[in-house]
Structure 1
């Protein structure tokens, strides 16, 4: 599959956004702790931050980009069901916006997972 420049630029920009999210998780983990509905909140924030950075690198360098895209989609689905829907049920008026944002990012991750050309070992 031939990859045109605007599409490639959009894919890299999408990945760079994930890198920013990952850095934000690592830098502001303690401030984000209250959003995590699980024990060991700060651990999960660091883990997802590292996962976001790894996914960004995988997409930019096209190393396991398909897997990275699908794993991002699963992570976002977990965020929607574990964080945003319970928050909405408690009356948080911004939760529906967060659900839609994460749903859009989830769709983008799936699209990128399916458009990135797969590089086989030994091919040019």
Structure 2
């Protein structure tokens, strides 16, 4: 298989994952509200905005339009999640299990951000 084909498959897989994450934010916002940092005002808007961002990034990756912008913005959003949600939850977790879940989420979002950066850096548009 050509490298470009493999790359498109990988980008499409990321797009599918991001789309599902985005849908989850809209379908189950109450499940995610508990993870919001305390300095944010309460409200579902803080769950809906990232959900919309995930869906828009997925659309950009699938349609191959504005891929560079979508990749950089997705990476930024995921880095913000790492710093404001996952790292504090890991450092201040009330149990070993909660800290373990936070660490897994931190590493997952870091890896997804790295992939988004790679996509953005190699995008034609």
Query: What interval of TM-score do these two structures reach, taking the shorter chain for normalisation?
Result: 0.7 to 0.9
Q: How many residues align structurally?
A: 117
Aligned-residue CA RMSD in angstroms? Answer: 1.5
Q: Equivalent residues in 2 for 1:16-95 (5 A)?
A: 16-37=16-37, 38-91=40-93, 92-95=99-102
List structure 1 runs of 4+ shifted beyond 6 angstroms.
none
Question: TM-score by structure 2 length?
Answer: 0.87
TM-score by length of 1: 0.88
Stretches of structure 1 that go unaligned for 5 or more consecutive residues are 119-124
State the distance in 2 between where 1:69 and 1:4 align: 17
Superposed CA deviations along residues 55-93 of structure 1, whole A, max 9, x for unmatched, are 110111111110000001110111011101110111323
Structure 2 residue runs of 5 or longer lacking an equivalent are 94-98
Q: Distance in 1 between matches of 2:59 and 2:4?
A: 20
